Structure 1
Amino acid sequence: MTDVDTAHAVLQSGLVPRGTRVEVFDTIFTVFLVLGTAVGVVVIGYMLYNGYKYRDGVEREEVKKADADRPTLGELPTGGGGGRKLFLSFALSTIVVVSLVLWTYATLLYVEGGAQAQPQDPIDVEVVGIQFAWRFTYENGHQELGTLRVPEDRAIRLNVTSDDVFHNFGAPALRVKTDAIPGQRTTTWFIGEDPGTYQAKCYELCGVGHSSMNADIVVMEPAEYEEWYASTGGETNDTANESASLVGARGVSPV
């Protein structure tokens, strides 16, 4: 069984966190924080113990007696207690590291395809980066510039590209970020758990107006979103096709 097969097995085992990207990445952070803290406590505690044990003034005979079973550098342990401790420490470290790598990889596999794992089909939105704004196109053909409206607790799948130079679409509060590359399409997803307005930015230096290339992601109550979506009727927001006017109003020009 390859590492990829093992990771897929872990993914199906129920050990991998599921839910929104926020929940998944927060779980990864918590696991690494707890394990890192535990390792730090053990290592620092062992260092302090040895610092005390071998402190200046301790009787040398006591030290020699305590180190009698310690294996010699370059030689295999011969069954002493120190050798067993060394072997167990390496074995335990290997198990922890390999398990953590497989768990993290399986979790990231879920993140890559999490939109398909949700109870409802995801809503597809086309996202196009232009200097210096974001254009959003919904499934009914409706377009908006600078504002993405989505329903609460529903997976949103973003198909991201660029009309000019390299951009990078990211919304930190929703743990979503992906490249916008001319001639290519990258896909990512997110779920807005709480109604409100979240800011998205461009995270790839793209010209003199880069710092103003922002967008609002408005998470709405499902009923409110359905009412708004029905009102669009597949019509295109006039400003969505007037990016040059918007760029000029900001006092910047494409480069």
Structure 2
Amino acid sequence: MIDPIILQPGGDWRAQAEVFEEIFFVFLALGTLVGTIVVAYTLWNVYKYRDDGGEPKESFDAPTVGELPTGQGGPKAKKLFLSFGLSAIVVISLVVYAYGILLYVEEGPDTGDEGDIEILVEGYQFGWEYEYPNGHTTTGEMVVPADQRIDIEVTSRDVWHNFGSSELRIKSDAIPGETNSNWFSVSSEEVEAQGGEATYRVECFELCGQGHSAMKGQITVLPQDEWREWYEETGGDAAEGNSSSASVSAAVGGVPA
């Protein structure tokens, strides 16, 4: 399960939101399974060793408070080491799985020849400004293409803010004089599911003043051809198709200094 996410062969990579949803599902499913087994086993022992008012059997080895297994092969020791071994396997497996996926989230996917789009996000009291590679800026709305890795550099011009979108599972501190990097992506299937144009709410997650609650924005995701048309109208030399990585890099290069 880890390899398809970490290695990301070719263009087969996923958005952060999908990765976090998978982590949530795996932990929820495994936690529910383990919890059900533990509770069922506990209830079974409660019933099996209940006090029915009679004399206990001679073979019954009642536990005492603070007692530890002798480690000499008795039934108590076997149960203890079996449960410890199974628990260790489950915990270690989850740690390795989660660590591998979080490395992918931290580093982001390798898009190969598709090129990345880098956008400077600047917070201010009380709104967001976005600067594209060609120098074009928008306020309140970030417009990006589907099926593309979007790299964002987040900063602030006044006080501390926090740029985030709960639906896209992204959050980055916006600190004056510093930049924090993050990335996100939206699939064309998701865009089509929302009627050909996907929108996601942007909020500030850092208390930054009286207008904090109104510091909202929007990320609009368009199909790639529509986004190219929009980008050309802003003065950008958008590449025609993804056949030439050099053209894409020229169109969507790094954030201006």
TM-score (norm 1): 0.80
Q: Is the 8 A contact 2:8 2:110 kept in 1?
A: no
**Alignment partner, residue 129 of structure 1:** 123
Aligned AA for 1:36?
G
Q: Is the 8 A contact 1:69 1:83 kept in 2?
A: no
What's the offset of the Cα at 1:75?
4.6
Across the aligned residues of Structure 1 and Structure 2, the Cα RMSD in angstroms comes to: 2.6
**Alignment partner, residue 216 of structure 2:** 214
The 4+ residue runs of structure 1 with deviation greater than 6 A are none
Instruction: List alignment gaps of at least 5 residues for structure 2.
Output: 192-197, 237-257
Identity of aligned residues (%): 45
Instruction: List alignment gaps of at least 5 residues for structure 1.
Output: 1-6, 235-255
Q: For 1:13 and 1:96, how far apart are their aligned partners in 2?
A: 25
Structure number with the higher helix fraction is 1
**Alignment partner, residue 38 of structure 2:** 43
Q: How does 1:1-255 map to 2 (within 5 A)?
A: 11-12=6-7, 18-57=13-52, 59-62=54-57, 65-67=59-61, 73-117=67-111, 120-193=114-187, 194-195=190-191, 196-233=198-235
Q: For 1:133 and 1:69, how far apart are their aligned partners in 2?
A: 64
Alpha-carbon displacement from aligned partner over 1:27-71 (angstroms, at most 9, x marks no partner): 000010011101110111122112111223164434x5253899x
**Secondary structure of 2:14's match?**
coil
- Count of residues paired in the alignment: 223
**Secondary structure of 1:218's match?**
strand
Deviates more, 1:22-31 or 1:119-128: 119-128
